[in-house]
């Protein structure tokens, strides 16, 4: 018998038929003798609808009232799933974030979880055998009002609840059957991974993989929550299993659990990037702080940074990338700053960041060189490069995205078992 947290996203609970399918998955685990807590998202499209209503009501709406409105999507889903489970004969009840409570900071609309008291949930799940159906994406702020965790926050809710109740595993049910070496829509031979380390998944999530929210992976890594990505669209009564008896999907776990570590695990990409270049900036101490300080104050995340070596000791060029959603604000911040001078500003939005990720890169030389050579042979120009111990990211023209991903996927033989 295990204690499980099962999380279902918007597409998995899109309508009553899908909710009944989810309930069948939950009942399967209950019948197997497991202690179960369920975290649900709003029905597919519902959060967008609620956000649109808030914006139509007032462009400058109160963030606290915004949270009160958009949190209702998950409340509806949790109540409906509890009703369906009860109709199936399963002892279940719904929980809202404030009832547990899931305590957050006061950043309404993008709150972070500070603490969860899991004692009452454990008492109900373990002591009474009751399934807890929890509304994801929400908690209670210090002002005693509903807070929401930002888009994709239900993943974070699920992992946080799993840590709070000391669950053996957190199962993330989604519309794919695991984590792949890259997007199968671009590389049909992309392979599903049986296991991925927390560090690799964190890089993949932050670099473009849409399977899990970045904050949820961070939480899982910090608290050691074994997280399992699996499909909710499989027949609940005919679940596929792997040769070792585990369910079919991808386990995200500590590196020590992975016996054979490949040099490269996956290729991620993100088209939500914009490049900004400042030409002939005065080359003197403090210029980087002068450029990036105002961007930080505006809460604009800067990723890749390239500063050319000054030839004459007087001027340099600085190139950096920002999220595409922050592009206009970043341009405005740079142009309005009086802390530095530059001769011209150049920018591009038709760019893509392609990343090579793998724990094995720590102990293998030549991974980066191989990638650069392979891209050069395909006449793909690299605009910027950034690296860490387990990843290499290159910025290229967006038109070459698919070619670059396929080239790198083949280079590291990721389509082979």
Closest by alpha carbon to 157, among 202, 221, 103?
Answer: 103
C-alpha 178/C-alpha 187 separation (Å) is 15
The 10 Å Cβ neighbour count of residue 389 is 9
C-alpha 381/C-alpha 367 separation (Å) is 18
**Binding-site residue set for substrate:** 47, 74
Question: From residue 18, how far is each of 13, 137, 157, 203, 233 by CA, in Å?
Answer: 5, 20, 21, 31, 9
The residues near 120 (Cβ < 8 Å, ≥ 6 apart) are 100
Q: For the chain, how many residues are written?
A: 417
Question: CA torsion angle for 153, 158, 160, 161 (degrees, to 10)?
Answer: 140
C-alpha 371/C-alpha 271 separation (Å) is 19
Name the burial class of residue 166, with classes exposed (0-12), middle (13-18) and buried (19+) by CB atoms within 10 angstroms of its CB. exposed
Closest by alpha carbon to 350, among 387, 324, 385?
Answer: 324
Closest by alpha carbon to 300, among 338, 272, 327, 269?
Answer: 327
**Binding-site residue set for ATP:** 7-10, 174-175, 180, 185, 210-211
The SS3 assignment for 133 reads strand
Q: Which two tokens stand for residue 224?
A: 């050691």
Cα 131 vs. chain centroid, distance in angstroms?
26
User: C-alpha angle with apex 196: 361 to 183, nearest 5 degrees?
Assistant: 90
**Binding-site residue set:** 7-10, 47, 74, 174-175, 180, 185, 210-211
């Amino acid at each position: 018998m295990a204690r499980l947290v099962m999380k279902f996203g918007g597409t998995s609970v899109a309508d009553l038929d899908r909710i009944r399918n989810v309930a069948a998955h939950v009942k399967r685990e209950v019948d197997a003798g497991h202690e179960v807590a369920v975290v649900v998202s709003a029905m597919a499209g519902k959060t967008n609808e609620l956000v649109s209503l808030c914006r139509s009501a007032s462009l400058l709406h109160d963030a606290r009232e915004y949270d009160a409105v958009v949190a209702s999507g998950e409340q509806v889903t949790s109540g409906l799933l509890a009703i369906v489970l009860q109709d199936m004969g399963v002892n279940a009840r719904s929980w809202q974030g404030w009832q547990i409570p899931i305590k957050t900071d006061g950043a309404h609309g993008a709150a972070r979880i500070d603490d969860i008291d899991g004692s009452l949930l454990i008492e109900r799940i373990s002591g009474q055998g009751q399934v807890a159906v929890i509304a994801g994406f929400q908690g209670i702020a210090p002002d005693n009002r509903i807070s929401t965790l930002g888009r994709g926050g239900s993943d974070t809710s699920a992992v946080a609840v799993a840590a709070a109740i000391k669950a053996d595993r957190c199962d993330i049910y989604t519309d794919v059957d695991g984590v792949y070496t890259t997007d199968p829509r671009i590389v049909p031979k992309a392979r599903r991974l049986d296991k991925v380390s927390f560090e690799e998944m964190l890089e993949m999530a932050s670099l473009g993989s849409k399977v899990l929210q970045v904050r949820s992976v961070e939480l899982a890594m910090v608290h050691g929550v074994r997280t399992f990505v699996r499909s909710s669209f499989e027949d609940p009564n005919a679940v596929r299993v792997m040769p070792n008896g585990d369910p079919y999907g991808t386990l995200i776990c500590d590196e020590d659990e992975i016996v054979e570590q490949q040099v490269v695990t996956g290729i991620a990409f993100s088209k939500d990037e914009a490049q900004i270049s400042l030409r002939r900036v005065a080359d003197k101490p403090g210029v980087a702080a002068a450029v990036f300080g105002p961007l930080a104050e505006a809460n604009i995340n800067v990723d890749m940074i390239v500063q050319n070596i000054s030839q004459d000791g007087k001027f340099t060029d600085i190139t950096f990338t920002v999220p595409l959603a922050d592009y206009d604000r970043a341009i405005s911040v740079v142009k309005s700053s009086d802390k530095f001078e530059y001769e011209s500003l150049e920018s591009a939005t038709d760019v893509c960041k392609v990343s090579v990720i793998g724990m094995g890169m720590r102990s293998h030389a030549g991974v980066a060189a191989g990638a650069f050579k392979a891209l050069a042979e395909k006449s793909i120009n690299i605009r910027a490069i950034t690296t860490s111990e387990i990843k290499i990211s290159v910025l290229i023209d967006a038109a070459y995205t698919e070619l670059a991903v396929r080239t790198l996927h083949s280079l590291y033989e990721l389509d082979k078992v």
